[in-house]
Amino acid sequence: MTHSALSGEAEGARDRVRDLLAAHDPRTTDRLEFLRARFDAGLAWVHYPVGLGGLAAPRELQRVVDAELEEAGAPDNDPRRIGIGLGMAAPTVLTYGTDEQKNRFLRPLWTGEEVWCQLFSEPGAGSDLAALGTRAVRDGDDWIVTGQKVWTSSAHAARWAILLARTDPELPKHQGITYFVCDMTAPGVEVRPLRQITGEAEFNEVFLTDVRIPDAHRLGEVGEGWKVARTTLMNERVAIGGAAIPREGGMIGIVASTWRQRPELRTPELHARLVELWARAEALRLTGMRLGQQLAAGGPGPEGSGMKLAFAKLAQDISGFEVELMAEEGLRYDDWTLRRPDIVDFTGRGPGYRYLRAKGNSIEGGTSEILRNIIAERVLGLPTEPRSDSGPWKDLPR
């Protein structure tokens, strides 16, 4: 992709934006109507195919389009609310879906009319996701699905779910899995809030009892669910720290402010620990910046695998320190009420909340133990453990 090629494409996209804005004045057009028109104009995700919200254009062009539309005061599709749909379901539907599936699902997904969630993890299959046991049994043109899923964000708001289920327990664990789209309004789907140690319920448990899924809602071939899921999961890993954050951005800034404003809390031991944490936070910030430069330079950036691991440890150490620093205030909590937050907000609440919530950082989205395995094997090239799980799924100890 040369610079001049992108310039030509950019001109074309700007024309389309102008046309869209001319036909649908954001100030007077209904939000949803505008978003639908934007999708139909191919300006939703420009790298998607024409007819599916895109222009088959280079991905970088999206920034140009977004900037133009933002400047014109156009509404966006609230991407934080529909992150699982945008980040995980859409690329999978695009890669593995039939034409019918793509036409049915992508437009309301992008506009946010239909929220998506992800039914992958199970109580018995966390780090070892491929060991999942939710069963799907063929019944005519349908599949009948029974099982329990867990750690599901947005399940209570979702219309659709991407779902992994086991269609053949006789095969080794990676081979007997099939990938489905599950209607969250179907009979037999029950969503229960899953309360965490913070008192909140960010996530849900989802119980599936004889849920009928038409075979037309299968994504990819029967038994190829693990391959399909890899597309989904590759899109999950967010480049934490890729963006440049300012010095003292994040939790360390909160603690540093407290330190500066509250001399009565200071002791030499706490000072030594605070400066050490400050140094680690700043080192991690620079590491993120360096990683960003590596990625921009087209480098392999294996450092990315470590950022989440380091971030989790740092967040836990800083928040643990903060509770100690606060002394008497550290004995208190802001609110134990069962809430259902849409997003995680580390800065808006008290030290006790930060301390407890940060414990999840080393578990959700890949435990620190799994990340260390990945670094050891994929980055350092150390040998794998002897395998104990290559036989048929049904015979695995659990």
Partner 1 sequence: MNLLYTEIEEDLRSSVRAVLTDHCPPSAVIASLESAAPYDASLWELLASLGALGLHVPEEHGGQGASLRETAVVLEELGRSTAPVPFLGSAVLATTALLACESDLVASLASGTTVGALAVPLTTAPGSPFPATVSEEDGLLTGRVTSVVDAGAASLLVVPVSGPALYAVRADSPGVTVTEVVSLDMTRRIADVSLASTPGVVIASGDRAVAAVESALLVGAGLLASEQVGIAEACLEQTVRYVKERHQFGRAIGSFQAIKHRLADLWLELVCARATARHAAETLATGSDNPDIAVALAQSECAELAVRAAEEAVQLHGGIGMTWEHPAHLSLKRAKVGQLALGTPGEHRRTLGRLVHLPMDIPSMGQT
Applying CB under 8 A, the residues found at the interface with its own copies are 268-269, 271-272, 385-386, 388
Among 25, 33, 139, 276, binds partner 1 (CB under 8 A): 276
In a 10 Å sphere around its CB, with 0-12 CB exposed, 13-18 middle and 19+ buried, how is residue 99 labelled?
exposed
Output 264 or 385, the one with its CB closest to its own copies.
Answer: 385
Nearer to partner 1, 22 or 297 (CB): 297
Q: What is the DSSP letter of 394?
A: G
**Of 39-47, 106-114, 224-232, 289-297, which segment contacts partner 1 by CB under 8 A?**
289-297
Phi, psi (deg, nearest 5) at residue 126: -105, -90
- Residues in region 149-178 near partner 1 by CB under 8 A: 150-151
State in angstroms the smallest separation of the CB of 97 from partner 1. Answer: 30
Q: Are 41 and 20 in contact (CB under 8 A)?
A: yes
Query: Could you tell me the smallest distance in angstroms from the CB atom of residue 271 to partner 1?
Result: 5
Torsion of CA 339, 342, 347, 352, to 10 degrees: 30
Query: CB of 395: closest distance to partner 1 in angstroms?
Result: 9
Residue 160's closest CA among 237, 93, 94, 80? 93
When CB distances are held under 5 to 8 angstroms depending on the partner's kind, the choice from partner 1, its own copies, none that residue 6 binds is none
- Smallest distance, partner 1 to C-beta of residue 335, A: 7
| 42 within 8 A of 12, measured Cβ to Cβ | no
Q: Rounded to the nearest whole angstrom, what is the least distance from the CB of residue 361 to partner 1 in the complex?
A: 10
Q: Which does 359 bind (CB under 5 to 8 A by kind): its own copies, partner 1, none?
A: partner 1
Binding partner 1 (rule: CB under 8 A), the pick from 174, 280, 346, 365 is 280
Tell which positions 198-217 bind partner 1, by CB under 8 A. Answer: 199
Residue 330 as a binder of partner 1 (CB under 8 A): the answer is yes
With tokens 């435990």, the residue in question is 367
- 216 vs 275 by CB, closer to partner 1: 275
Element (H, E) at 322: helix 303-326
**Does residue 134 touch partner 1 according to CB under 8 A?**
no
Identify whether the C-beta of residue 149 lies closer than 8 Å to the C-beta of residue 140. Answer: no
CA distance 226 to 165: 10
Q: Kindly tell me which of 268 and 381 has the beta carbon lying closer to its own copies.
A: 268
Q: Which of 283, 339, 341, 345 binds partner 1 (CB under 8 A)?
A: 283
| Site map 95..124 versus partner 1, x via CB under 8 A | --------------------------x-xx
Residues 63/73, Cβ–Cβ less than 8 Å? no
**Other Cβ atoms closer than 10 A to 17:** 22
Task: Tell me which of 23, 137, 238, 286 binds partner 1, using CB under 8 A.
Answer: 286
- What H or E segment, with its residue span, contains residue 348? none
Kindly state the DSSP code that residue 87 receives in the 8-state scheme.
Answer: I
236 is catalytic: yes
The one catalytic residue among 236, 248, 329, 364: 236
Q: Which of 93, 120, 110, 95 is nearest to 54 (CA)?
A: 110
Q: Which of 177, 224, 236, 215 is nearest to 98 (CA)?
A: 215
Handedness of CA 373, 377, 380, 382 (dihedral sign): positive
Q: Which of 267, 339, 340, 348 binds partner 1 (CB under 8 A)?
A: 267
Site residues (CB under 8 A) for partner 1, limited to 372-391: 372-373, 375-377, 379-391
How is residue 358 written in tokens? 């940060």
Return the sign of the alpha-carbon dihedral for residues 363, 368, 369, 374.
positive
Contact between 300 and partner 1 by CB under 8 A: the answer reads no
Of 25, 33, 139, 282, the one binding partner 1 by CB under 8 A: 282
Residue pair 306/263 in contact by the 8 Å Cβ criterion: no
Q: Can residue 278 be called a binding residue for partner 1 (CB under 8 A)? A: yes
- Which H helix or E strand runs over 83? helix 83-84
Residue 3 or 387 with smaller CB distance to its own copies: 387
Size of residue set near partner 1 by CB under 8 A: 94
4 binds, among its own copies, partner 1, none (CB under 5 to 8 A by kind): none
- Residue bearing tokens 């934007």: 38
Write down the least CB distance from residue 288 to partner 1, Å: 8
The residues annotated with a catalytic role in the active site are 236
